[in-house]
Amino acid sequence: MSRISAVLIFAALLSPLCYAREPGVETMVPQSSAPPWVNIAALGKSTDIDALNEITTDTSAEEAISEAERAEEEVVYWEFPEPEIPPQSIWLRVREGFTFPTVKSRRVGQFERWYKKNPEYFERMIARSALFLHYIVEEVEKRGMPTELALLPMIESAYNPTAYSRAHASGIWQFIPSTGKNYGLEQNWWHDERRDVVAATGAALDYLEMLYGEFNDWHLALAAYNWGENGVRRAIKRNKRRGLATNYYSLRMPRETRNYLPKLQAVKNIISDPGGVGLMLPDVLDQPYFTLVEAHEHMDIAIAARLAEMSVEDFEILNAAYNRPVIASDGERKILLPLDKAETFAKNLEYHDAPLVSWQTYALKKNESVEQVAKRFDMDPNKLRQINGIKPYVRLRAGHSLLVPMPSDVDESNLDETWNNPEFNRPNNFYGTRIVHRIRPGDTLSEIAQRYRVSVRGIKAWNGIRGSRIRAGDRLVIYKDLRVPRVSTMLQ
């Protein structure tokens, strides 16, 4: 190659470059709209570029090559990291995993229209699901199960961790006490794992796997999840006796169960094509929201929230399983924290030099009332009852343990010795005020329901009544004010 050619090639290579000036530094970047993370060459001194600019046709080949070689030695390459690709929407992933056959029912359109007329309800449901949906989709996919199952809590509870039904079903997956127990969900005075999203999700997927294994049909498996497997078994057996088909559409079911799959199909249709239904689908990012953090010691809920720099209300949404103001730990208890709060919690806990618990237990003395205990510990009697889950007018025996605030002159809580007392290990399955009504001549279910301001369906569910007949002299159990314990309310 001739020297003149070398100069011309160098000039041609230099010409597309433009300069981006910063104090003391000039960079050469292509004039194209290259993304900002590409590697760019930077010359250390502006005089080097000036020297290159002075190369003209009058410059000798030797001088041009010398100047180019000298400039090349000064070039420093800055490597910019590629930007993180933002997470995509979880809905793309959910749609890809849909495998259920379409539910063919006019009820599907009815529920679509209901959601369309109640967009605020739909938006609240999606907002709550954003905290847990990524985790549940992950767990569903690990088992190779259809992603429609990740939508099931929308039908069961609208993704509300504190949801509680007249049948005493609790949590986002709405486990009744007996089924929760069968699938290993701990239920005691301190803690109810039916409201623990991680534990309950594992139990729900175990249950659904079992149901699908028995019925070999997802529609029947979901009907059994709602109605109970025994109900579906009886319906199948009845149809077999009559020589009828035993698929989902052929079985006689309660109205709630008959509506169950159309509701799910309506939500699935909205997720698949929100515009087709006339709704806006808020985006949910396909990334974890929370992480598990171990709590090795007893700890106040309020202190745990403060260490994570969260409000008690926000902490409670992720940790709805706790019934009391204290996380009573056997050394293996876990709490859920947002990913961006876990490090904050750990750091604040490391430097926290005050007690982690401000509560203790107190054993009732003979003939001592709740009101007397409340006065002793400067509490409102109703607040003391609320914190301890004591129903009005219930008399407690001597020795019964109550959770009370630690007095200022007490240095250390006695929870290590008392948190596992028998009264704290009993299941606390039924929330609300329990009333026993003795049926009088002429009473009807509708009149009794109206008197106590509850539903007829609720009375039937609580007492195992199938029809509408009741007998004078029998007793009915009625629950009012059905709600789970809310620590944020207790601490107000």
Is position 423 within any domain? no
**Secondary structure string (H, E, C) spanning the chain:** CCHHHHHHHHHHHHCCEEEEEECCEEEEEECCCCCCCCCEEEECCHHHHHHHHCCCCCCCHHHHHHHHHHHHHHEEEECCCCCCCCCCEHHHHHHHCCCCCCCCCHHHHHHHHHHHHCHHHHHHHHHHHHHHHHHHHHHHHHCCCCHHHHHHHHHHCCCCCCCECCCCCECCCCECHHHHHHCCCCECCCEEHHHCHHHHHHHHHHHHHHHHHHHCCHHHHHHHHHHCHHHHHHHHHHHHHCCCCCCHHHCCCCHHHHHHHHHHHHHHHHHHCHHHHCCCCCCCECCCCEEEEEECCCEEHHHHHHHCCCCHHHHHHHCCCECCCEECCCCCEEEEEEHHHHHHHHHHHHCCCCCCCCEEEEECCCCCCHHHHHHHCCCCHHHHHHHHCCCCCCCCCCCCEEEEECCCCCCCCCHHHHCCCHHHHCCCCCCCEEEEEECCCCCCHHHHHHHHCCCHHHHHHHHCCCCCCCCCCCEEEEEECCCCCCHHHHCC
Instruction: Give the sign of the dihedral formed by CA 267, CA 273, CA 274, CA 278.
Output: negative
In a shared domain, residues 135 and 222: yes
Tens digit of each residue's pLDDT (9 = 90 or more) over 141-178: 999 999 999 999 999 999 999 998 877 889 999 998 88
Is position 410 within any domain? no
In a shared domain, residues 64 and 117: no
At residue 61, the pLDDT reads 54
At residue 37, the pLDDT reads 38
When the pLDDT of each residue in the chain is averaged and rounded to a whole number, the result is 83
Q: Indicate which CATH number applies to the domain containing 313.
A: 3.10.350
Number of compact structural domains in the chain: 5
Give the domain extent around 484: 433-490
The residues that bridge with 89 in the sheet, in sequence order, are: 285
At residue 32, the pLDDT reads 40
At residue 224, the pLDDT reads 96
At residue 344, the pLDDT reads 97
Tens digit of each residue's pLDDT (9 = 90 or more) over 294-343: 988 999 999 999 999 999 999 999 999 999 999 988 778 899 999 999 99
Tens digit of each residue's pLDDT (9 = 90 or more) over 69-119: 555 555 554 455 655 666 799 999 999 999 999 999 999 999 999 999 999
120 is catalytic: no
CB 491 within 8 A of CB 325: yes
Q: Provide, rounded to the nearest whole percent, the portion of the chain with pLDDT above 90.
A: 55
At residue 74, the pLDDT reads 53
In a shared domain, residues 446 and 321: no
Tens digit of each residue's pLDDT (9 = 90 or more) over 442-461: 888 888 888 887 778 778 87
pLDDT band at 185 (very low <50, low <70, confident <90, very high): very high
Task: Among 277, 308, 329, identify where a domain stops.
Answer: 277
Is position 425 within any domain? no
At residue 451, the pLDDT reads 85
In a shared domain, residues 67 and 119: no
At residue 71, the pLDDT reads 53
In a shared domain, residues 41 and 182: no
**Range in 51-65, 201-215, 374-388 the model is least confident about:** 51-65
Is position 390 within any domain? yes
In a shared domain, residues 209 and 308: no
Is position 411 within any domain? no
At residue 26, the pLDDT reads 40
Task: Among 256, 277, 298, identify where a domain stops.
Answer: 277
- For the cut 80, the answer to whether the pLDDT of residue 251 exceeds it is yes
Q: Model pTM?
A: 0.76
pLDDT band at 247 (very low <50, low <70, confident <90, very high): very high
- For the cut 90, the answer to whether the pLDDT of residue 469 exceeds it is no
In a shared domain, residues 379 and 316: no
Q: Which of 72, 123, 148, 156 is catalytic?
A: 156
Compute CA 482 distance to the chain's CA centroid, rounded to the nearest angstrom: 22
Q: Indicate which CATH number applies to the domain containing 468.
A: 3.10.350.10
CB 211 within 8 A of CB 224: yes
In a shared domain, residues 48 and 174: no
In a shared domain, residues 246 and 126: yes
In a shared domain, residues 44 and 74: yes
- For the cut 80, the answer to whether the pLDDT of residue 16 exceeds it is no
In a shared domain, residues 137 and 19: no
386 vs 221, which has greater pLDDT?
221
